[in-house]
Amino acid sequence: MEALTIHEAAQTTGWTPRMLRYIERIGLIEPARTESGYRQYGAGELQRLRTLRELLAEHEIGLGDVAFALRLRRDEPLSGAVDSWLEAEPQRPEAVSADEWLRWEQEKHARIIAALTTNETMETAA
Amino acid sequence: MEALTIHEAAQTTGWTPRMLRYIERIGLIEPARTESGYRQYGAGELQRLRTLRELLAEHEIGLGDVAFALRLRRDEPLSGAVDSWLEAEPQRPEAVSADEWLRWEQEKHARIIAALTTNETMETAA
DNA sequence: CCAACCTTGACACAGCTTTGATAAGGTTGC
DNA sequence: GCAACCTTATCAAAGCTGTGTCAAGGTTGG
């Protein structure tokens, strides 16, 4: 159960030491340090490094994307703002009358406000 | 309730026509089109363009970040994968024994698997 | 005490993103 | 029918990302 050094961790996970430092810098995996500052990668970190590789490869995303997702989950005001902005985009109103469409927009806005003030969980329908 | 052309929309929202096309290309705001293909920006789009500006400015994020958030919300396998990867990072285990720590890691993994297989909604504690 | 690690920091380069400018051509309204 | 729009496509520049490499210096273990 010895912790690995950065070079050892790099070897067993397929990253380079350089990238492990980069991944740490963007906040994704921050290994413990020894007294003197050496990084220590344990089994958990190694596992996460490997699954991180898969995650990037399988979904065509970048480290920056994962870092942003992490930021979203840590910065509640941010995720709230992003969510409410995205929320205001259900589907395009087809050919509706101007009045009808305006009312629909206003109701949508009201729905968003309501969703924001009552901070309930929203369910993602399967 | 007239729809604005791209130049008019750009003027009233502070974007450039070029950027409105770009914002459309990355999927954030896709205005309706006339028969002949001209973009039509309605009040809803204008509002969203303005709030998009605020969103970017207030939270130091980029269009690509918002586009990724949109992708997250549309691509369930992706968001599931990202979430479960991020989930596996509660806090650093302090000085614990190797056995203890290994067990803790395994349990964490089990928790993640459980959370994945029973696709229930997770609650974001306030 | 020295070889072989580790640390941070800097320079660098390829490739992608963001944004502008410009070209070639269609639409519209007077 | 022409001025003033619009469209798409392309070239280009500026900036960011991901990655390598090197330098100057600390740590470690025989």
pLDDT confidence tier of residue B54, bands split at 50, 70 and 90: very high
| A96 to chain B: closest CA residue | B1
Spanning CA of B43 to C1' of D4, the rounded length in angstroms is 24
Residue B46 distance to chain A (closest CA, Å): 12
Contact indicator for B66, B56 with CB cutoff of 8 Å: yes
Mean pLDDT over B31-44 rounds to: 96
pLDDT at A98 over 60: no
**Residues comprising chain B, all counted:** 126
Q: Which two tokens stand for residue B12?
A: 């009233």
pLDDT tens-place string over residues A109-123: 333 333 322 233 333
CB contact under 8 A, A86 and B98: no
* Closest listed residue to residue A108, CA positions, set B32, B14, B51: B51
CA–CA separation, B104 and B106 (whole Å):
5
Packed helices B76-87 and B63-74: angle between N→C axes, nearest 10 degrees: 100
Whether any strand D atom is under 7 angstroms from the Cβ of A28: the reply reads no
Residue carrying structure tokens 């089990």: B110
The reported pLDDT for the residue numbered A122 is 32
Q: Torsion angle, CA of B96/B97/B98/B100, rounded to 10 degrees?
A: -80
CB contact under 8 A, B78 and A88: no
The reported pLDDT for the residue numbered A74 is 95
The reported pLDDT for the residue numbered A20 is 98
CB contact under 8 A, A86 and B75: no
CB contact under 8 A, A59 and B72: no
What percent of chain B clears pLDDT 70, i.e. is strictly above it?
A: 70
The reported pLDDT for the residue numbered B115 is 30
Residue A59 distance to chain B (closest CA, Å): 7
pLDDT tens-place string over residues A41-90: 999 999 999 999 999 999 999 999 999 999 999 999 999 999 999 998 75
CB contact under 8 A, B105 and A78: no
For residue A37, which nucleotide's C1' is closest to its Cα?
C7
The reported pLDDT for the residue numbered A1 is 52
Q: Which two tokens stand for residue A93?
A: 């109103």
Residue A8 distance to chain B (closest CA, Å): 19
Q: Give chain D positions with protein CB within 7 A.
A: 5-8, 17-21, 26-28
Spanning CA of B36 to C1' of D30, the rounded length in angstroms is 81
Write the DSSP assignment of B39-86 as a string of letters. Answer: EEB-HHHHHHHHHHHHHHHHHT--HHHHHHHHHHHH-HHHHHHHHHHH
